[in-house]
Structure 1
Amino acid sequence: MRKLLVPIVLILIGVFFSSAYVIEEGTCGIILRFNKIIGLSEPGLHFKFPGMDNVKIVDAKIKTTNSPNNVGQEQKFRTRENKNLVVDYFVQWKIVDFNRYYETIAAGNSIENLLLARSNGCLRTEIEKLNIIDVVNDTNNNSHNSIVTRVKDILNSTVKELDKSNSIENQANKDEKALEVNQASMRPFGIEVIDVRLKKVNFPQEMSNSIYEKMKAERNNVFQNQHFQGVKRADEIRAEATLEVTKILSEAERQSRSIRGEGDANAIKLYADAFGKDIEFFSFIRRLKTYERSFTDNDIVVISPDSEFFKYMKLKSDN
């Protein structure tokens, strides 16, 4: 009996470990019995029938899918003005129906590829309704009428159930037609879109280069025009300053001459008043000034000593 007890215990331990499984927080277990979904497992310790049941662990956290622009595939969207824009965006989503989600991925489909295909289609439809300026202004707009809100509502819209004869793969191949009838919902695939955000809106590279060159030329024209205006204004200021200096110097010269004339007139008047009192003294002073101007170091004057010119140079003898 003791010999059988040890194998039985080992078998029970093996059965326990082969039937027990743990679902971690943030994940969900899909229980398959002969590849058919029979239930879901919440986080915690669970048990299954060994050899019959299989458990697929699925990430239940919110996921983020970036637009193809992040992997080098430039997506162009045409506006109402027939101008191309490159829109970089991301979509956040989570699984709400694990059965549908598993059926989708089990059929070989990629949820992220399906999500990007439908998101691109919705964005293309919405951007075609707007001008470039409206798209740029709508980038950070989270109102009910914004692009991202409308796209999220379309992706989360409720659509009619497909016929049982239609597979998930056939449904995925009809994205374009489903979008035309406003059935671009991701609900049939078991996911819900939490948020859609536009990260960046740019022109295509070739258009960006053209716009940059145009802006550069415009800036050069503005620079040249401002430089010309600056040189012109500098010449005007310089001319005004020169004219003002000329006026100031002219006025100063006029006032100087006027003052000098007034001074000379006052001096002459003083001389006249002084000399008028003594004619002989006046004559003497005038003759001295004449002597001063006449006799210099290099001048030779030949005049008779008896000339009237030497009247005041003659010594008078005392009688």
Structure 2
Amino acid sequence: MRKLLIPIVLILIGVYISSVYVIEEGTRGVVLRFNKIIGLSEPGLHFKIPGMDTVKVIDAKIQTTNSSNNNKEQRFFNVQKKELIVDYFVQWKIIDFNRYYETVAGGNNVEDLLLARLNGRLRAEIGKLSNKDIINDSNADTQSRNSLMNRVKDALNGGAQEIAENASTDVHKDIEGNKTSLRAFGVEVIDVRIKQINFPAEVSGSIYARMRAEREVIARDKRFEGVKKAEETRAKATLQETEILSEAERQSRVIRGEGDAIAAKLYADAFGKDKEFFSFIRSLKAYEQSFTGSDIMVISPDSEFFQYMKLKSNN
């Protein structure tokens, strides 16, 4: 009896070990019984029937796929029929693990499907934009990279009605026709981001040269406008200067005229009181004007002109 106990215990331990499995956090387990899906295991400790059940562990975290994953440049044409090289990435996650497993089990690569559909949507959206819209990233709702990426994401996720219509169709047929939402494959797009947009090397030189020429024209117009405004400013300043000087000259002449009038009135009042004093002052002014310079004046000493220069003797 003791000899049978040890093999039985070992068999039970083996059965227990083969029937227990652990699903780690961030993953999910698709339980298969004879290759048919019978359930989904959440993170934790679970049991299965040995020999009948198998568990396929699938990553449940958000995943990132870059456009350069296939080592091939993604080229698109804008509305001006100019070729562009677009580098982008897409973040996605699995929302229906059973459907995702069916897609993968059918020999399809979900990342390839995702990139194929994404390239198709980007080609359609970029074809609506010009170089200016793409480079400047206009704020208009329909002409910006942000709105473009949102439209692409919404198109890839599709609507609930579209999913219901395609749920019962053959997965391989949907993949070939490329007519279903990515939700039909069990995945959902979280975000689409354009990292970089370049022109092909063979045309970038001519495009940048044209852009430089356009910027030079704009710069020349701006400089001309600046020179024009500078000339207008200088002209206004000169006009203001002339007006200020003219007004100052006018005011100074008015003030001088008023001063001369007051002085003349004072002189007239003073001369009116003493005629002899008026005659004396007038003679002094005559002397002052006559004796300046090097002119020669011949006049008799007894002339009345010198009457205020003669000394009167005291008798």
| Both structures adopt the same fold (TM-score exceeding 0.5) | yes
The structural deviation recorded for 1:116 is 1.5
Aligned to 1:204: 198
**CA RMSD in angstroms, aligned pairs only:** 4.5
Question: Residues 274 and 69 from structure 1, CA distance in 2 versus in 1: closer, same or farther, beyond 3 angstroms?
Answer: farther
Any idea what SS the aligned residue of 1:136 has? coil
Question: Residues 79 and 232 from structure 1, CA distance in 2 versus in 1: closer, same or farther, beyond 3 angstroms?
Answer: same
Question: Residues 302 and 75 from structure 1, CA distance in 2 versus in 1: closer, same or farther, beyond 3 angstroms?
Answer: same
Any idea what SS the aligned residue of 2:169 has? coil
The structural deviation recorded for 1:112 is 1.3
Instruction: Tell me if structure 2 keeps the 8 A contact 1:136–1:201.
Output: no
1:113 aligns with 2:112: yes
Q: d(CA) in 2 for partners of 1:115 and 1:121?
A: 10
Q: d(CA) in 2 for partners of 1:31 and 1:247?
A: 102
Q: What TM-score do you get using the length of structure 1 for normalisation? A: 0.68
Aligned to 1:149: 154
Aligned to 2:103: 104
Aligned to 1:246: 245
Any idea what SS the aligned residue of 2:143 has? helix
The structural deviation recorded for 1:69 is 6.3
Q: What TM-score do you get using the length of structure 2 for normalisation? A: 0.69
Any idea what SS the aligned residue of 2:215 has? helix
**Most deviating of 124-133 and 231-240:** 124-133
Q: Which of 303, 315, 318 matches 2:312?
A: 315
Any idea what SS the aligned residue of 1:29 has? strand
Q: d(CA) in 1 for partners of 2:26 and 2:305?
A: 135
Trace 1:217-296 onto structure 2 (pairs within 5 A).
Answer: 217=216, 219-276=218-275, 279=276, 281-287=277-283
Which structure 1 residue ranges, 5 or more long, are not aligned?
Answer: none
Q: d(CA) in 1 for partners of 2:5 and 2:118?
A: 62
The structural deviation recorded for 1:106 is 3.9
* 1:148-186 deviations in Å (ceiling 9; x for gaps): 433421796443633xxxx94x875x3xxx14xxx2444
The structural deviation recorded for 1:191 is 1.0
Instruction: Tell me if structure 2 keeps the 8 A contact 1:60–1:94.
Output: yes
Question: Residues 101 and 200 from structure 1, CA distance in 2 versus in 1: closer, same or farther, beyond 3 angstroms?
Answer: closer
Which structure 2 residue ranges, 5 or more long, are not aligned?
Answer: 134-139
The structural deviation recorded for 1:111 is 0.9
Aligned to 1:55: 55
Q: d(CA) in 2 for partners of 1:123 and 1:295?
A: 105
Q: d(CA) in 2 for partners of 1:103 and 1:310?
A: 140
Q: d(CA) in 1 for partners of 2:266 and 2:159?
A: 108
The structural deviation recorded for 1:123 is 3.7
Amino acid at match of 2:111: E
**Most deviating of 285-294 and 229-238:** 285-294
The structural deviation recorded for 1:33 is 5.7
Instruction: Tell me if structure 1 keeps the 8 A contact 2:15–2:50.
Output: yes
Instruction: Tell me if structure 1 keeps the 8 A contact 2:29–2:56.
Output: yes
Amino acid at match of 2:158: D
The structural deviation recorded for 1:315 is 2.9
Instruction: Tell me if structure 2 keeps the 8 A contact 1:64–1:91.
Output: yes
Instruction: Tell me if structure 1 keeps the 8 A contact 2:158–2:182.
Output: no
Q: Which of 163, 166, 169 matches 1:161?
A: 169
Instruction: Tell me if structure 1 keeps the 8 A contact 2:64–2:91.
Output: yes
**Most deviating of 38-47 and 10-19:** 38-47
